[in-house]
Each structure stands twice: as C-alpha cells, then as structure tokens.
Amino acid sequence: MSQFSSVKKQVAINYSAIKELDSFPLKIRARFNDLFQILEEKGKLEMPFAKKIDSVLFEIRIKQNGQWRAIYAYVLKNEIVVLSAFLKKTQKTPKKELTKALKRLKNYEKK
C-alpha cells in the first residue's frame, strides 16, 4: 500500500447555494459540476479555477459569458461546503456575498 492516502473530499452544497446555482445557464451549471467533481477528487482547485479570498473562504471562478463565482470552505477534515454562487459584476467580490457566505458557514461550524 502506498504511503500517500487518497485526498478525496466530499463536496456538499448549501441549500440556498443550490437555488442560486439552479438560476445559472445550463452550460455554467455543468462547468461548476465539473469543477466540484475535480474538487472532490483532488481536494483542491488551482488558479485560474479557484482562488483563496480570505482566511477560510475560497471561490471557484468561471469566465464564460460573464464572471461566475461559487464561494466554498473546508468545514471538516474531508468535507467542503459550497456556500453561495453568483454572477460577479464588479472587479472585487461583493462584500454582501462574503457576508452571506460567512453567515451560512456558521451553520456548519455548530455541528
């Protein structure tokens, strides 16, 4: 057996984030699903597909007919939760999106 263990993670999607993702065009949703699968298999995403945005939050980045984002966090050793998703319209990630993601993250930290 190899000394390296699998880094496979479980990706969960917050109920509200599911509704946000469902409002996206089909091609964008499919691209997010592809990236969620890579995130599960490898345990992380690299630039240009993801970026750390603060001490606990990361964003998945899709540039296709706009700037689409999904904010996620690592909540347990093997679990990642997608907290929110939105169409980015400004240079910086909107503060309200960060606040919303952090508020949703608190629900997972109580477990």
| CATH number listed for the domain at residues 10-109 | 3.30.2310.20
Given a cut of 60, whether residue 85 has pLDDT beyond it is: yes
- Crossing angle, helix 26-42 and helix 15-22, to 10 degrees? 140
pLDDT tens per residue across span 17-71: 999 999 999 999 999 999 999 999 999 999 999 999 999 999 999 999 899 999 9
Dihedral sign computed on CA atoms, order 87, 32, 45, 18: positive
57 in Cβ contact with 84 (< 8 Å): no
64 in Cβ contact with 34 (< 8 Å): no
Q: Scan for tokens 């995403």, then name that residue.
A: 45
Between β-strands 50-52 and 10-13, what pairing exists: parallel, antiparallel or unpaired? unpaired
